[in-house]
Amino acid sequence: MTMHQPTVWIAPSILSADFAALGRDIAAVERGGADLIHIDVMDGHFVPNITIGPPVVRAIKRIATRPLDVHLMIEDPDRYIRDFADAGASMISVHVEVLPHLHRTIAFIKSLGVKAGAVINPSTSITTLEDVAKDLDFVLVMSVNPGFGGQAFIPHSLEKVRRLKGLLAATGSSAQIEIDGGVDPSTINDVVSAGATILVAGNAIFASGDAEAATRALRAAANAPPPPGIRA
């Protein structure tokens, strides 16, 4: 899987899906044009919620036709990275806030043949990535505080994405910028114009009543020219 996509990628987050009908919901977003399936792994410690582990990722891998984008919101990701890679993750992202040896962790993910990403929370500075930027395949910017779906987009995230785009360019990094939290039809043009190319959307897709149509609509909006006045 190449990370150099010609347009934006849509990554529906199953955090907002119906877990009793996960296969149905994943099939719906794939029909709608999803590029990735985003899977939020939470441990109840780093974030105030508990979700799923490698067995569910392995089950999703059996039925999904898109790459699995696994976001580890856990206190000790090093302990579980191999398990998620073995379960079928194509991309694994880890939080800088819990890793004193981020460079080593990123190298380990890549050694398993998986794309490696670093995640920064809303209060975390992009400068924490400066010395590992060239080693990253992607950076995930949290535009809400992680833990629960359906939260409102934090407006400051747009400027953060712009500054991150500049930092990546300055360090010679080819990492893509992913954004997660509050991405919906009202924010999608702004985040694309700011520089994000992988868009995670949960509530906007799965709470819509028609996940297939909502995915298709988000893709169309993301690929549309930005409205006048939107800063590139």
| CATH code for position 54 | 3.20.20.70
Per-residue pLDDT tens over the stretch 45-104 = 888 788 899 999 999 999 999 999 999 999 999 999 999 999 999 999 999 999 999 999
> Of 40, 69, 137, 184, which one is the catalytic site residue?
40
Q: Is residue 231 part of a domain?
A: no
Instruction: Classify residue 215: in a domain, yes or no.
Output: yes
CA 66 to CA 90: how far, in whole Å?
A: 9
Residue 169 lies in domain: 9-223
Residue 82 lies in a domain: yes
202 lies in a domain? Answer: yes
pTM here is: 0.92
Report if residue 229 sits inside a domain: no
Give domain status of residue 163, yes or no.
yes
Structure-token match 């460079």, residue found: 103
Q: Of 35, 69, 180, 184, which is the active-site residue? A: 180
Is 40 a known active-site residue? yes
Q: How many CB atoms lie within 10 A of CB 177?
A: 22
Q: Tell me if residue 210 is catalytic.
A: no
Q: Is residue 230 part of a domain?
A: no
Residue 2 located in a structural domain: no
141-174 pLDDT tens trace: 999 987 666 678 999 999 999 999 999 999 999 9
Total domains, the chain: 1
